Structure 1
Amino acid sequence: MPRVTPGSTAAAAALALLALAGCAGDDGDTGRGAPATTTTATSDTRVVAPGRPGETADVIEPGEDIEIVEGGYSEIDVRFVEQMIPHHRQALTMAELAADRAQDERVLLVADRIIAGQGAEITVLENWLEQRGLPVPPAGAEHDHGLPGMITPLQLEQLTNTSGAEFDELFLTYMSQHHAGAIEMADAAVAGGTDQLALELATDVSVTQGVEIDRMREILDTL
């Protein structure tokens, strides 16, 4: 029966995500995961079952048994969602400063895309927690700069107190750092998570913010 077993790299990345919040245990220690429902069926046609991101697909021939897994989420999924919310909130705070401080039109466009994209994602992330009866991180949690890429209150104050070309350079530098941290968190979630929506969100964060980092570095090189 085809099964997917995470490799050592995926397991290490998943453990790294748990460690961000000081959690060294597994789902049994926290009790915040929910088991998936698994049923077995016999395939009557040839089926190609997509693998997880980065893995090859399984081919199921007629007459073979196949596992159908529905629902369920893990501690890794929960940690990713609840930590990405304050991470995104800080990105919005930084991006909103650009409206009356940025000088370069390209910086304003980057900031506008971040506000539109991450603002919508925050809503999805909050709904994910609420639908599972889990608390949404309170306002102010974005000041926890222990998460990867988060800037410190002093750095945020520095950004707030600049304008013009100085703001543009500092904003692009700090936001590139911020995005890189989000990608680190997202990649760990993709490697070890189980919830389909959380995996899709993590994949989108990794791809989208990777593209934005490249764009911000291009702008930095021409300032």
Structure 2
Amino acid sequence: MPRVTIGTAAAAAVAALLALAGCGGDSGTGRGVPASTTTATSDTRVIEPGRPGETATVIEPGEDIEIVEGGYNETDVRFVEQMIPHHRQALAMAELAQERAQDERVILVADRIAAGQGPEITALEAWLTDRDLPVPPADTEHDHGLPGMITPLQLEQLGNTEGAEFDELFLTYMSQHHAGAIEMADAALTGGMDQPALELATDVSVTQGIEIDRMSELLDSL
């Protein structure tokens, strides 16, 4: 019997994370709760995309389907709680651009990153709070050896430069940072199960991939 996971589009991931309340618990294999499953009869033809590398499922009218709602697992929790300090460091780097960048295009990139990742942090924190899980404390964005994170020394170096030197260093470090976020998102898409978290992971992967391409273009033009 085909299974359909209820969710919103990737563009609504932040709103979905803020709106969907979860519950605490443990599935027995880590932090998480099992999803609930109901059976329904489809009245239209539905094409449900598969996970990365998997084919789509075609559901014909009149066919019984299992509708899977809710539930999350350890992979979802790790993605959410680790993406918070990761995003916080990106914001710290973006804030430096306001006073130190020379190229207006670099400032625009930094503004876009801040505008996107600030609300995402709020949504990620709400996801944990709704499930009675602790939110990583403030000032921990430099304490994690997460993919793409720059070291405290590198952040200090960035804060001590300005002008053209800052622009080049910022684009280099932020591209590295984004690549790490994509790596984390891809891991969530492979092993996670919570739909809002998966939608946010998709958004991170797509958006930051586009921003990496833009920063690469800017680096070549400096």
Normalising by structure 2, what TM-score?
Answer: 0.85
The equivalent of 1:94 in structure 2 is: 93
Q: 1:72 is matched with which residue?
A: 71
- CA drift of 1:192 comes to 1.3
* Separation in structure 1 between the aligned mates of residue 121 and residue 110 of structure 2, nearest angstrom: 16
Deviation >2 Å, runs of 4+: 26-30, 40-57, 60-65
Cα offset for 1:65?
2.7
Given the superposition, is the C-alpha separation of residues 44 and 116 from structure 1 closer, same or farther in structure 2, using an over 3 Å criterion?
closer
Please give the residue correspondences for 1:43-192 in structure 2 after superposition, counting only pairs within 5 Å: 43=42, 45-192=44-191
Residue 41 of structure 1, CA deviation: 3.0
Q: Is the 8 A contact 2:3 2:67 kept in 1?
A: no
* 8 A Cα contact 1:43 1:63, kept in partner: yes
2: distance between equivalents of 1:111 and 1:46?
Answer: 43
Q: Is the 8 A contact 2:27 2:34 kept in 1?
A: no
User: Are residues 39 and 102 of structure 1, via their aligned partners in 2, closer, same or farther at CA, if it must alter by over 3 Å?
Assistant: same
State how far apart, in whole Å, the 2-side matches of 1:85 and 1:55 are: 29
> Unpaired segments of 5 or more residues in structure 1?
5-25
Q: Alpha carbon RMSD of aligned pairs, Å?
A: 1.8
- SS state at 1:141 partner: coil
CA distance in structure 1 between the aligned counterparts of 2:48 and 2:94, rounded to whole angstroms: 40
Residue 68 of structure 1 aligns to a residue in which SS? strand
Q: Which residue of structure 1 aligns with residue 2 of structure 2?
A: 2
* TM-score, scaled to structure 1: 0.84
Q: 1:60 to 1:142 in 2, by over 3 A?
A: same
Q: Separation in 2 of the partners of 1:171 and 1:43?
A: 51
| Identical counterparts, % of pairs | 84
* Structure 2 gap segments, 5+ residues each: 5-25
Say whether 1:39 aligns with 2:43: no
- Maintained 8 Å contact 1:27/1:75: no
Q: Distance in 1 between matches of 2:95 and 2:43?
A: 55
Change (3 A) 1:63 1:139: same
TM-superposed CA distance for 1:128, in Å, is 0.7
Partner residue, 2:194: 195
56-65 vs 199-208, which moves further: 56-65
Q: Report the number of matched residues.
A: 201
CA-CA distance at 1:144 after TM superposition: 2.0
Indicate if the aligned counterparts of 1:102 and 1:167 stay in contact, CA closer than 8 A.
yes
